[in-house]
Structure 1
Amino acid sequence: MTWVILTGRQSDLDQVATPHKIITNRDYLAHPALFGGQRPKVINLSNNYGYQSRGYYASLLASSRGHRVIPSVETIIDLSEPKLYENALPELELALNKCRKDLGGAFPAKASFFFGIGPSKAWDRFARLLFDWFRAPSLEIAIRDGAEWASIRKIGFLPVIRLDAEEKTRFLASLDAYTKREWRDGKARVPARYTFATLVDPHETLPPSEISSLRHWARIAEKMGVEVEPITRKDLAKLANYDALFIRETTSISNHTYRFARRAQQEGMPVIDDPLSMIRCTNKVYLNELMAHNKVPVPPTVMIASPADFTLAADTLGFPLVLKIPDSSFSRGVKKVSTPDELRKLATTWLEDSDLLIAQKYLPTQYDWRVGVLGGQPLFAVHYLMARKHWQIVNHDRAGKPQQGGIKTFTLKETPPLVVETAVRAARCIGDGLYGVDLKETDGGVFVIEVNDNPNLDHGCEDTGEKDEVWVRLTQWFIDRLERPGR
C-alpha cells in the first residue's frame, strides 16, 4: 500500500519521522500525473481546510484522481460549522460521558485525537466513535464539563504545526499504527493496484477461513496487483482506506460484521458478504420461502408459530424430524427430535425466544454436498462428512471443543451435474456474491438444506479440487467490480 502525506509546508513534518512519502499540497495539486497507475492512500495534513483553500482542493482532487484521502471533502464540510455536525453530538456526548469514571471524574477543557486514538486508554470508546463520525488525522474537541454531564462545545481540525511536543509524539505513534501493514510476504511482483481488507477474528473457534489460508490468498492476489491486509472489529474507521472488503468472520446482522458490510456498501466498495446477502442467508424462514417460490427443491417443511402447529408438523413430516431456529449458524440451533414429547418440549423452549421455528423432514445421509458459488458460477465442490457418531457435520453437543466431520474433495467436473445446477440456482436467488450451498443427495432427489453467505474457504480443503483457480477467481471478482465502467 502506498501512503502519501500532504503538508502545508515541507517543514511541517520531518521526513525521518515516517517512512511514507511527504509532499506539499501545492506540489500535489500542481502535478496531477504524480502516482500515475497507482492508487495511493492520501493523508491530508494541510494547515487550512477552508473552502477553496489548498487543503480543501487537495482532498477534492484526490477523490477525482481515484486516490483514497482523509479527511474527505465531506468531512471538511461537515466540520466547517457546528450546525453541520450537530446531529452527531448526542451519540458522541453519550460516549464521552461514559469515559468520566475512567478519567477520574473530570474532563479537560480540550482534548486532541489522532486517527481515532485519544490521550489515554480511558478515551478509547469515545475516540473510536469520533473517528467513525469524522475520519480526520487530527481533531480537537472543546468540552464544557457540567456537574453530571459534559457537553461538546466544538469539534475542529488540529493542524500539525499547533501540536506541542507531547502531542507530536502521540501523533507520530498514531500515524504509525494507522498505516501499519501486518501481512508482508516480500516485495510485490506486480505494483499493487488495489488493497483489499479482510475482516478477521484471530480468536474465533470456527472461522470461515484460517489465517494461513488468507496468507495463501494474499500471495496469489499479490501476483494480480492486489494487496490483502487483515483488519479486526476495531478497524471500522479505517475501512474507507481500502478498495474492497472480504469478511472472514462468522456473520450476523446483530454484530459488527453487518456494520462493516453496510459501511463498505456506503463507501461504494465491493464486499463479500454484502448486507442484503447476510439478511437473506441468515434467516432460514426466508430461505425456505425463497427457494420454494423459485421452485428450488427443499425438504418438506412446516412453519411452527405456536403449540397449535406441533401436531401438523408431526403428521406432515413424521419422526424423527429436524427442528431449526431461523437465525443460527454452524449447525447451532438445529436439533433432531424423535418423539412428539421431544418436539413439544424443545419447540416450547425455543418459541420463548423466537416467534417462528422451522420443522423439516429428516433426510439421513453420510455427507452433505457443499458447492461454493461465486458471481452466479460454481467455484468448488466438497463432501462435508458427518461428525463421528452424529447426524450433523458439526457436533456441538460434545463436551469441550465442537467436533467436525471430515471433508472429501471433488473437481467440479466430478460433481453430479444436478447437484451443481441446483446449487447455482439456489445461490442466484440470493445475489451475486460468494455462497456455500448445502445439499442432500437422496434417492428422492437433490434438496437444498441452506445457503450460507459466509462459506468456509480454506487452502488444502475447499480449494483442493480446483486448486488456486479458486483464489484467482475470488480476486478477479473484486477487480471486475472495481473496474466496471461508470463506477
Structure 2
Amino acid sequence: MFSSNDRVVVAAAVEETDREDVVDALRCRDSVLEALENSGYRAVPFDISPEDLDNPSLLVKRITKEHACCVFNLFEGFSKAAFLEVAFAKLLEVSGVPFTGNRSRALAACLDKKNARTVLRNAGLPVPPGTCICSMSERKRLEGLSFPLFVKPRCEDSSVGVDSESVVQDQSKLEQVLRHRLEEFPQGVIVEEYLHGEECNASCMGIWPYDFLAMSRILYRPEKGTSDFLGYDSKWRPESVDYREIESRVEEGVPSRLQYVIKDMAIRAGAAMSCDGYFRVDFRERDGKWYVLEVNPNPDINTDSGFARQSEAAGYSYRLMVAKLVELAVERGDHGVHHNIGPKRRIAVH
C-alpha cells in the first residue's frame, strides 16, 4: 500500500478534434486531477498524442520516467482509432507501473462486440438475437431476425455510430443503413433485434466477485420528443433533446427481485469479459426477460456521470471513488490475475 502523498499521472488522449466524447475526456481528466489532489496525491497530467503511439518504446520510457505509483488511465484511443486504447493498456502492462481500469485483455474483448456477444452467450448470459455483418454479401445472416432491428458499429465505443438511423423498421431501410454504416465502419456492424422494454445499467469495481455499486433505470420521455434508446446525442450533446430529457435514475422504484437479478448478471458479465478494474453493464428487457446489451470496461467517470452517481449511492463521494480506483490499481500491481470464472450458482433471468 502506498501512502497518500505518492505521485499519480493521469493519462488522456489529446488530439485536434471537435468530437464531443473526445473533448469530454479532457474535462474528466481535470476532475480526476482535482480529486486526487484533494486526497493528497501529487497528480500530474500525462497527455498522449497520436504521434506518441507511433513510437511505443519511447512512450514506455516516458511512463517509467514519471516515477509514479500509479497511472490513472483515461486514455480511450483517438476519434478514428478506438482500438488504440488496447494498445496503450498493453504498453502500461509492459512498463510494470500499476494503472487504473481494465487490462488490455478485457478492453479488447469488450471493444469487439462480435466477440463480446459470443463470450457472454458462452457464459450463459442472454444477448439480443442478432449477428455481425462485415459486407453486404453477408446479408443472408440476417434471415430469421424480426424487425425492428438495431444497427451499431462492431468496434466503437462511446455510442459512436448510434443515432436516429440505428433503429430499422423494414428491409428497404435496412439495405440503405447497412450500405452507409459499412462504408463508415468497415470492420463491420452488429445487427440485433430491437428490444422494446425497460432499460437499466449497473456498475462494479475491483476484481471478481467485485464491489457492486448500484443499478440505474433509464427513463425515456417520448412525449417530449426523445428517442427510446441511448445514442451519441444523449451522452455527449447538451443541445439535444435526448441529452436534456432522458434520465438515468439510481435505484428508485426498483423491485428487490430485479436488483438481485441485475446484480447477478452484472457480476457474471464482468467475470466473463475478464474485467478487473471498473466497468458498467447495460441491460434491456423484452417480455419480462433481461438481456445484456454491452459491457463497458471504460465508462465515463466524470463528476456528472452515471458511474459517479452509482458510486455515490454505494457510499463513495467523487473524491473517495477516484482514490479507491488508485488503491485498487496499486493492490493489483503489474501482475493482476484475469478472473473469468463467474458464480457457479445461477438464478433465473426472466
TM above 0.5: yes
Asked if structure 1 preserves the Cα contact closer than 8 Å seen for 2:12 and 2:46, the reply is: yes
Distance in 2 of aligned mates of 1:229 and 1:368: 35
Distance in 2 of aligned mates of 1:458 and 1:413: 28
Distance in 2 of aligned mates of 1:458 and 1:283: 24
Distance in 1 of aligned mates of 2:167 and 2:265: 25
Distance in 1 of aligned mates of 2:103 and 2:334: 18
Distance 1:417 1:251, change over 3 A: farther
Structure 1 residue 221: Cα displacement: 4.2
After superposition, residues 314-393 of structure 1 pair within 5 angstroms as: 315-334=143-162, 335-352=166-183, 353-354=185-186, 356-376=188-208, 377=210, 378-386=212-220, 389-393=226-230
> What residue is the counterpart of 1:196 in the other structure?
8
> What residue is the counterpart of 1:406 in the other structure?
247
After superposition, residues 218-237 of structure 1 pair within 5 angstroms as: 218-219=36-37, 221-222=39-40, 226-234=41-49, 236=59, 237=61
Distance in 2 of aligned mates of 1:221 and 1:399: 31
CA RMSD across the alignment: 3.5
Asked if structure 2 preserves the Cα contact closer than 8 Å seen for 1:296 and 1:426, the reply is: yes
Asked if structure 1 preserves the Cα contact closer than 8 Å seen for 2:33 and 2:45, the reply is: no
Q: Could you give the per-residue CA deviations for residues 26-72 of structure 1, whole angstroms, max 9, x where no partner exists?
A: xxxxxxxxxxx99xxxxxxxxxxxxxxxxxxxxxxxxxxxxxxxxxx
Structure 1, 245-254 or 324-333: larger mean CA deviation: 245-254
Where 1:329 maps in the other structure, the secondary structure is coil
Letter in structure 2 aligned against 1:329: D
Structure 1 residue 410: Cα displacement: 3.0
Distance in 1 of aligned mates of 2:153 and 2:231: 16
Asked if structure 2 preserves the Cα contact closer than 8 Å seen for 1:382 and 1:409, the reply is: yes
Distance in 2 of aligned mates of 1:219 and 1:400: 29
Q: Percent identity?
A: 18
Q: Could you give the per-residue CA deviations for residues 431-462 of structure 1, whole angstroms, max 9, x where no partner exists?
A: 22222111114433221101112112233534
Letter in structure 2 aligned against 1:477: L
Asked if structure 1 preserves the Cα contact closer than 8 Å seen for 2:89 and 2:103, the reply is: yes
Which of 235, 244, 247 aligns to 2:70? It is: 244
After superposition, residues 413-432 of structure 1 pair within 5 angstroms as: 416-431=259-274, 432=276
Where 2:329 maps in the other structure, the secondary structure is helix
Distance 1:292 1:300, change over 3 A: same
Distance 1:269 1:312, change over 3 A: same
> What residue is the counterpart of 1:123 in the other structure?
none
Distance in 1 of aligned mates of 2:117 and 2:128: 9
Distance 1:221 1:276, change over 3 A: farther
Structure with more contact order per residue of length (Cα contacts < 8 Å, sep ≥ 6): 2
Structure 1 residue 290: Cα displacement: 0.9
Letter in structure 2 aligned against 1:239: I
Letter in structure 2 aligned against 1:346: V
Which has the higher Rg, Structure 1 or Structure 2?
A: 1
Distance in 2 of aligned mates of 1:304 and 1:218: 43
Distance 1:333 1:482, change over 3 A: same
> What residue is the counterpart of 1:304 in the other structure?
133
Letter in structure 1 aligned against 2:130: T
Which of 428, 445, 448 aligns to 2:289? It is: 445
TM-score (norm 2): 0.70
> What residue is the counterpart of 1:159 in the other structure?
none
Which of 332, 338, 341 aligns to 1:481? It is: 332
TM-score (norm 1): 0.52
Runs of 5+ consecutive residues of structure 2 not aligned to the other structure: 53-58, 337-350
Structure 1 residue 395: Cα displacement: 4.5
Distance in 2 of aligned mates of 1:277 and 1:355: 19
Where 1:454 maps in the other structure, the secondary structure is coil
Distance 1:369 1:297, change over 3 A: same
Structure 1 residue 406: Cα displacement: 2.6
Structure 1 residue 293: Cα displacement: 1.4
Q: Could you give the per-residue CA deviations for residues 123-142 of structure 1, whole angstroms, max 9, x where no partner exists?
A: xxxxxxxxxxxxxxxxxxxx
Letter in structure 1 aligned against 2:74: R
Distance in 2 of aligned mates of 1:247 and 1:362: 33
Distance 1:305 1:232, change over 3 A: closer
Runs of 5+ consecutive residues of structure 1 not aligned to the other structure: 1-36, 39-189
Structure 1 residue 466: Cα displacement: 1.5
Distance in 2 of aligned mates of 1:244 and 1:413: 39
Where 1:318 maps in the other structure, the secondary structure is coil
Distance in 2 of aligned mates of 1:429 and 1:483: 21
> What residue is the counterpart of 1:205 in the other structure?
20
Structure 1 residue 279: Cα displacement: 1.3
Asked if structure 2 preserves the Cα contact closer than 8 Å seen for 1:247 and 1:273, the reply is: no
Distance in 2 of aligned mates of 1:247 and 1:305: 31
Which of 466, 478, 483 aligns to 2:314? It is: 466
